[in-house]
Chains A and B, each alone.
Chain A
Amino acid sequence: MVAWAKQGHDAAFRELVRRYERPVFSLLYRMVRDRALAEDLAQETFIKVLNGIKSYRPEFKFSSWIFKIANNAAIDHLRRKSIDTLSLDGAPSAETPDQVRATSLQLGDRAESPLDEVESRELGTAIERAIARLRPEYRSCILLRHVEGYSYEEIAETLDLPLGTVKTYIHRARNELRGYLDDRRE
């Protein structure tokens, strides 16, 4: 399929989107917790992948390549958002007290943000809320490991991280998830 797409066949491009749209969108949605934004980032990912398909090296798994681009898009967005809006004293551009309040860091809120009705239904379960509280780096590792079924080695290759770091992130992520889920029960 990828070889066919490399020759520029429209049908092959569409088939690749069909195969990967759900896993890519799901990863992004759980990373940014905003449907419209996740869709924009997924779109950006596929456009980058398909327009750059000639540079794809077949020694790597194609899905790893897509997830790498998707994850980078999510991390870039979260970093930008954190610089733009999360400051203890509010964003530098905030001029009114309301703006300062709206852009101030609220300790402990991490990736949790108000969800609309659809998002609440989809991401409102205890496990989804616990995932949202993880650091983004932990979140992508744990999602690739247990939702996508990637091996530690594949995650290391996909995210350009040393194998030991991936193991540490995943173990810490599971520990934190257990902690959040236990807290909820108490």
Chain B
Amino acid sequence: MTDISMHLNTDEIELWAQGLLPAARAMHLADCSLCRVEAERERKVILQLVQLPKFAPSAGFADRVMAQVKVHAPSGDWTA
């Protein structure tokens, strides 16, 4: 059993930031301003990272790829 007074380690802070830290350990944050500040800073960075957008390549990307891929027809013939 983990002592409630023990500071959170980096793995636990990440779990807390994702809402996955078991309640028994999360209770430590109520009493420890050091861990609370640390966890809050970590949560902000993680939140910014998970909200990063996905970018798309320019139009016709798939066609440019397919033009250089050897398509193996199910019959066994290779076509460029």
Contacts and interface: CB of A to CB of B under 8 A. Distances in A.
Contact of A17 (B11, B49, B66): B66
A57 interface: no
A138 interface: no
B41 to A, nearest CB: 5
Contact of A23 (B44, B49, B54, B61): B54
Given A21-B57, A21-B61, A42-B61, A147 B52 contact: yes
Interface string B7-32: 00011000000000000000000000
Contacts of A67: none
B46 to A, nearest CB: 6
Q: Which 8 A-B pairs have the closest CB atoms?
A: A8-B72, A146-B49, A127-B48, A22-B54, A50-B69, A46-B65, A17-B62, A25-B57
Contact of B45 (A21, A23, A177): A177
A181 B66 contact: no
B65 to A, nearest CB: 4
B10 A171 contact: yes
A26 interface: yes
Interface string A152-176: 0000000000000001000100100
A79 interface: no
29 contacts: A7-B72, A7-B74, A8-B74, A9-B74, A10-B66, A13-B66, A13-B69, A13-B71, A17-B62, A18-B62, A25-B55, A25-B57, A26-B53, A39-B57, A39-B58, A46-B65, A127-B45, A127-B48, A142-B49, A146-B46, A146-B49, A146-B50, A147-B49, A147-B52, A171-B10, A177-B45, A177-B49, A178-B41, A182-B41
Contacts, number: 89
Interface of A: 7-10, 13-14, 17-18, 21-23, 25-26, 29, 35, 38-39, 42-43, 46-47, 50-51, 122, 127-128, 142, 146-147, 149, 167, 171, 174, 177-178, 181-182
Nearest to B65: A46
Residue among B41, B69, B70 facing the most chain A CB atoms (10 A cut-off): B69
Given A50-B65, A147-B54, 10 more contacts: A14-B66, A17-B61, A22-B56, A26-B53, A39-B57, A43-B61, A43-B68, A46-B69, A51-B70, A146-B46
B34 interface: no
Give the contact-size bracket for chain B: 20 to 34
Nearest to B51: A127
A174 B54 contact: no
